[in-house]
A and B are shown apart, each in its own frame.
Chain A
Amino acid sequence: MSDFILEVKDLHKTFTLQDGRELNVLNGISTGIRKGEKIAVIGPSGSGKSTFLRCLNRMEEPTSGVITFKDEEITSPACNINLVRRHMGMVFQHFYLFPHLTVRQNLTLAPVDLKLMTQEEADAKAKELLARVGLADKIEEWPDRLSGGQKQRVAIARAMAMNPDMLLFDEPTSALDPEMIGEVLDVMKELADSGMTMYLVTHEMGFAHKIADRVLFIDKGVISEEGTPDEVFDHPKQPRTIEFLSKVLRR
């Protein structure tokens, strides 16, 4: 077998639109990620990169294809996806903190409800994680009182509270004001340095260049170019990649 912690084989996703037409978003993606690896997923909007990420924890149901996580086939009907998701955290573009719970409760809800920790253990873990993302003083705060950057740092801490083996980042800085992007990227950099396995869908090319071990360029639902950041960003081979990067980097 391969040394991938997560492996994707021939992943297809087709959405059926309201008027009955079919939209092929993913057209056969095969790839994988090793333990501790950081993979940046880039590509034009509508290319399917977010859908690809959302298929990995079956937020979207793949139309066909096989995904294996820690030697378990998670696309099989027999797989309990809830158990898999405990080990695969997700960070969303719009944070989705639970507004009726305090920051601490946001972090402890899942581990306590799933009986993985007692409330005391989860509280201690929450304290430790919030200190790690620089928000120790916000532990009893309400999400509505936080800035966008703070919310996203709490969302990252919430994902980490489950002790995941891997994190999926779905454009984590795209909804942030420019001056708040840095603080979130700093937290993600620290996570990356600590050895976390990460998939990162992003438009932050500079950041992707800095932390990624590999970069996937997705276009029209397939991986059209793949390689180290140096290869993809500095010496792209595909015309589509060159065109995309020239548009994005010119800004």
Chain B
Amino acid sequence: MITRNKRSGAGRGDILLGIVGVYLVYLLYASGFFTAAAWQDFNRRFYQNFIKDDRYMMLVDGLKSTVFMTSGATVIGVIVGLILSVIRVAYKGGVHIPVLNKFAETYITVLRGTPAMVQLLIWNFTIFASARDLNTQYIAILAFGLNSGAYVAEIFRGGIESIDPGQMEAARSLGLTYGSSMRHVILPQALRNVVPMLFNEFIALLKETSIAGYIGIDDLTRAGQNIQALTLEHSQPLVMVAIIYLIIVLFLTHLVRKLEEWLSRGRR
């Protein structure tokens, strides 16, 4: 099964992470970071970047925008992915609607075969070029959602195809239609199998929305850059942005693990 080639968590690299951390602290120490003067300088710059004029609110608003876009795109991604995957699986399973199947295949090929950034730019500057009244965030949600749908479709398809064909036969032998069998027997089982992978897809999506700045959306990443522009400060805002992303990703990764444990409970 093809999923996005991105990792979302620390995993077994926790020890390595520790070593890198210790090394970084050593570097800071060696460069005189822990002297009183350097500490004072750090605090002054921290005040400039985040406290003065309530600049931290820029990050808060950026984070809101990032979460808003990710959530919206997630909803679209799941719906589009589910529809696409069912079209493709049904085609293999004998429900032949060639036009739909061709559409689904082309959709998945094109949206996975081109960079999300290019897609975002095309949506904003070509397709919705004349719709200047439209909130750009909605365009981003559409672009990210439709892009994610192509990946989710492949995740769902893998999940559906992992279900024993006998399940479909048993359902059909009782007189259930193909659609009913899919809905009541195959999809609930497939969904349970793919929940962890879906979650990872959305963690990847969260990070992917960091390109939204390219169409003028003040998301978390762009908020960091905006602070940079105000304070001419080269490191603190972006490092802070990175830390915020990392905390969210680690939290979500933790949730996935808990979810996996919960899903595998009660099964032999």
Contacts and interface: CB of A to CB of B under 8 A. Distances in A.
Contact of B170 (A96, A144, A145, A162): A96
A59 interface: yes
Interface stretch (B24-32, B61-69, B141-149, B171-179): B171-179
B216 interface: no
Contacts of A142: 266
Contacts of A114: 175-176
B174 A158 contact: yes
A85 B167 contact: no
Interface of B: 164, 166-167, 169-177, 180, 184-185, 188-189, 192, 266-268
Nearest to A106: B170
Given A89-B174, A94-B166, A159-B173, 11 more contacts: A82-B176, A85-B173, A85-B174, A85-B175, A86-B175, A90-B170, A96-B166, A96-B170, A109-B171, A145-B268, A155-B170
Interface in A77-117: 82-86, 89-90, 92, 94, 96-100, 109-110, 113-114
A110 B266 contact: no
A113 B184 contact: yes
A38 B175 CA distance: 22
B175 A82 contact: yes
A98 B167 contact: yes
A89 B175 CA distance: 9
Interface in A189-243: none
A144 B268 CA distance: 7
A211 to B, nearest CB: 22
15 contacts: A59-B169, A82-B176, A84-B175, A85-B174, A85-B175, A86-B174, A92-B166, A94-B164, A96-B164, A96-B169, A99-B189, A100-B192, A109-B176, A144-B268, A159-B173
Contacts of A90: 170, 173
Nearest to B168: A96
A86 B167 CA distance: 17
A173 interface: no
Contacts of A84: 175
Max chain B CB contacts within 10 Å: which of A59, A82, A94, A110?
A: A110
Given A113-B180, A144-B266, A57 B170 contact: no
A83 B172 CA distance: 11
B188 A100 contact: yes
Contacts of A86: 174-175
A157 to B, nearest CB: 12
A177 to B, nearest CB: 16
B188 A110 contact: no
Interface in A103-139: 109-110, 113-114
Nearest to A168: B173
Contacts of A144: 266-268
A7 B170 CA distance: 23
A85 B169 CA distance: 11
